[in-house]
Amino acid sequence: MDLKRIAKDTAQVLSSYLTYQALQTVLGQLREMDPPQAYWLNAFSSRANIQDGEAYVQALLRERPDLAYRIMTVRQHIADEVAEFLPEMVCTGIQQANMEHRRQHLERITQLSLSDSQLARESEDDSDSGTEPNLDNLSN
């Protein structure tokens, strides 16, 4: 397991996600203040690769540097605001999610075990009732 590579990939994914969030923020602002620019940015974003935040910013810098700088500024602000508590939130979120998945799995396998036990008891009961002599018929 290459932890440095995992950390680098995670940081890249997080950066791309923050770019996406910054784009959403800027689009919201532009929709209120400058609808034609919002329309243009939305159209550009549908053509550009927003999945790769850095490639998206580079492409936007070539076409509209003013919007690219605005998105970079908002992205930096978001990063500064969430960086403080993000590691703890990620760890806590993963721990809670794992616990919930384990609980659900345990419930599921326990219910299957109970169902299997009930089926086994019912089939034992059925076979026992089939082997018992019917005493009412013996008198005839």
What are the sequence ranges of the domains in the chain? 3-84, 85-122
**Quick one: average pLDDT of 50-56?**
94
**Residue environment code for 31-44, b if the CB has 16+ CB neighbours within 10 A, otherwise e:** eeeeeebbeebeeb
Asked if 20 and 50 count as a contact pair (C-beta separation under 8 A), the reply is yes
Query: What pLDDT score does 87 carry?
Result: 86
Average pLDDT over residues 19-32: 97
**Long-range interactions of 103-107: CB distance < 8 A, separation 24+:** none
Q: Can you say whether the dihedral through the CA atoms of 19, 20, 23, 24 is positive or negative? A: negative
Round the average pLDDT of the chain to a whole number and report it: 87
Classify domain 3-84 by CATH number. 1.10.1200.210
